[in-house]
Amino acid sequence: MLDALLLSRLQFAANISFHILFPMITIGLAWVLLFFKLRFNATGDEKWMNAYRFWVKVFALTFALGVVSGITMSFQFGTNWPGFMNTVGNVAGPLLAYEVLTAFFLEATFLGIMLFGFKRVGNRMHTVATVLVAVGTSLSAFWILALVSWMHTPTGFEMRDGVAHVTSWMEVIFNPSFGYRMIHTMLASFLTVAFLVTGLSAYRLLRGDDTPAVQAALRLGIVMAAVLTPLQIFTGDLHGLNTLEHQPAKVAAMEALWETQRGAPLVLFGLPDAETQSNRFAIELPGMASLILTHDMQGEVKGINEFPGAHPPVAPVFWSFRVMVGIGMLMLLASWAAAWSLKRKGQLPPMLLKGLALMTFSGWVGVLAGWYTTEIGRQPFLVTGVLRTADAVTSVPAGNIALTLALYLLLYAVLITAYITVVFYLARQAGQADSKTSEPTAHGPRVLAGKAATEGGHA
């Protein structure tokens, strides 16, 4: 029987999984658009403006999805997790408030000018608007990741009568995991965008759309991916070591280590079994987990047994971690092969283009897997050591939550399908001469002049 706790968790997971897909694109894509704009300003080369024109459409669509799914998030705290704000509202509230005040209004307002104001404000102001949207999206990431990090590694507060009170805002914001999480997440956003730009450009090339703008975008995407993937692997490792220090139970789950031991093996594959507290069909590399985590083959690594009643479920954390790492390795392989091929031959073989086109949304898989690793890894706590998830849940009847969950899932399934379909449709359209959305109707274009006249006639 599904209870309010499990349903609320599923609903929150569904909402945030859907939401995070879109900011992960807009945060990085905003800076890529700025790059196109600045290159155009500097060189006057039309290809940069053409690249901008195509990608700004993808950006607008993605941004809209990010905004509406974000509004849903802001209500979830109250509707499903009242205990969260009751207990740590003094910490979470101001961080969320600053996100709205400094980031949301900035990006939302200047987005209008960035998208539709080119003819009205002139090139310089339009560039400024693009900068402000890019700054706004990244600033938004700063505040929300400060809160997320604080939930993992809370500092700078004291508990009085069961309620958290802030003692130092600097310690709250710059808590121990914040720096690692911020860099890891920002890089994830840029990587998601790198593969999106590369993949969609490869798709257009495969369809014979060989314009300079597509070539320029492909080149940029490949360079970004080839440089950032190893950087991301490196920061991921640092983030992992930070987690080992502050949330050892999460790392034990990631590595499926049930018992504390020296010379802990790296479990390459296995089926973690919570009943028997062991892994079935395990393929292990002896001593490697100790080497990775302690940089010593004989180092001691804490196992799940150290955290009775306070450790996350092992299997989902173990598996999402492996999916994330797998995507990372695939990205490294693909981006370096593409970069090498581009450098040697100046172009990519069709097989590689196909592979990259298939990887268009690979960043999303990596992001979700990483997100599940870290957030499920925080369980059973909502705020590590301070508040258990079960203690924060609403008293709304389970039936109501099941109903809304079903509605959200249906809506999200429709929207995600529509989004991916339309993004590829835009890519196909962009290749054709009379690109469809370049001049959306109303008073302007010639095509509609005749139609407008007839409509005026029977008024």
Partner 1 sequence: MLEQVPDLTTAAGWLPLAFMLVMGLAILAYVILDGFDLGVGLLLQLGDGDKQKDTMIASIGPFWDANETWLVLGIGILLVAFPVAHGIVLGALYLPVALMLIGLTLRGVAFDFRVKARDEHKSTWDFAFFAGSLLASLAQGYMLGRFVTGFAEDLWSYLFACLIALGMASGFALLGSTWLIIKTTDELQRRAITWAKRSIVLLAIGVAGVSLATPFVSQRIFEKWFGLENLIVLWPIPAMTAVTFLIAYRSLARLPERLDKDLHDSEWIPFASTVAIFMLAFHGLAYSLFPYVVMDRMTIWEAAAAPESLMFIFVGAIIVLPVIVGYSVYAYRVFRGKATDLSYY
- Nearer to partner 1 (CB atom), residue 110 or residue 318: 110
Beta strands in 84-177 (DSSP E): 157-160, 163-166
Binding residues among 137-176 for partner 1 as defined by CB under 8 A: 163, 165-166, 169
Task: Report d(CA 75, CA 67) in Å as an integer.
Answer: 13
Task: Report d(CA 105, CA 109) in Å as an integer.
Answer: 6
Site string for partner 1, 307-336 (x = CB under 8 A): ------------------------------
Is there binding between residue 413 and partner 1 (CB under 8 A)?
Answer: no
* Minimum distance of partner 1 from residue 35's CB (angstroms): 17
* Minimum distance of partner 1 from residue 407's CB (angstroms): 6
Concatenate the DSSP letters of all residues of 142-164 into one string.
HHHHHHHHHHHS--SEEEETTEE
Stretch that binds partner 1, among 95-103, 202-210, 228-236, 302-310 (CB under 8 A): 95-103
Minimal CA–CA distance to 282: which of 272, 294, 292, 291?
272
Three-point CA angle 83, 86, 88, nearest 5°: 100
Task: Report d(CA 279, CA 457) in Å as an integer.
Answer: 77
User: Can you tell me which of 400, 413, 420, 447 binds partner 1, judged by CB under 8 A?
Assistant: 400
Q: 296: helix, coil or strand?
A: coil
Tokens of 13: 């997971």
* Minimum distance of partner 1 from residue 16's CB (angstroms): 14
User: Can you tell me which of 7, 25, 30, 65 binds partner 1, judged by CB under 8 A?
Assistant: 65
* Minimum distance of partner 1 from residue 364's CB (angstroms): 17
Task: Report d(CA 38, CA 32) in Å as an integer.
Answer: 10
* Minimum distance of partner 1 from residue 243's CB (angstroms): 28
* Minimum distance of partner 1 from residue 52's CB (angstroms): 8
Is there binding between residue 115 and partner 1 (CB under 8 A)?
Answer: yes
User: Can you tell me which of 109, 261, 278, 347 binds partner 1, judged by CB under 8 A?
Assistant: 109
- 371, 18 contact by CB (below 8 A): no
Stretch that binds partner 1, among 216-224, 290-298, 380-388, 422-430 (CB under 8 A): 422-430
Is there binding between residue 350 and partner 1 (CB under 8 A)?
Answer: no
Task: Report d(CA 208, CA 215) in Å as an integer.
Answer: 12
Strand-pairing partners, residue 301, are 261
* Minimum distance of partner 1 from residue 134's CB (angstroms): 16
- 110, 134 contact by CB (below 8 A): no
* Minimum distance of partner 1 from residue 367's CB (angstroms): 20
- The amino acid occupying position 85 is M
Binding residues among 215-274 for partner 1 as defined by CB under 8 A: none
Concatenate the DSSP letters of all residues of 306-354 into one string.
GSTT-S--HHHHHHHHHHHHHHHHHHHHHHHHHHHHHHHHSS--HHHHH
* Minimum distance of partner 1 from residue 421's CB (angstroms): 8
Is there binding between residue 122 and partner 1 (CB under 8 A)?
Answer: no
Is there binding between residue 77 and partner 1 (CB under 8 A)?
Answer: yes
- Nearer to partner 1 (CB atom), residue 308 or residue 440: 440
Binding residues among 430-459 for partner 1 as defined by CB under 8 A: 436-445, 448, 451-452, 455-456, 459
User: Can you tell me which of 6, 14, 41, 117 binds partner 1, judged by CB under 8 A?
Assistant: 117
Question: Residues with Cβ < 8 Å from 270, sequence gap 6 or more?
Answer: 256, 279, 280, 281, 282, 283, 284, 318
With contacts defined by CB under 8 A, how many residues of the chain interact with partner 1? 88
Stretch that binds partner 1, among 79-87, 231-239, 251-259, 328-336 (CB under 8 A): 79-87
Task: Report d(CA 143, CA 103) in Å as an integer.
Answer: 9
Peptide bond into 380 cis (omega under 30): yes
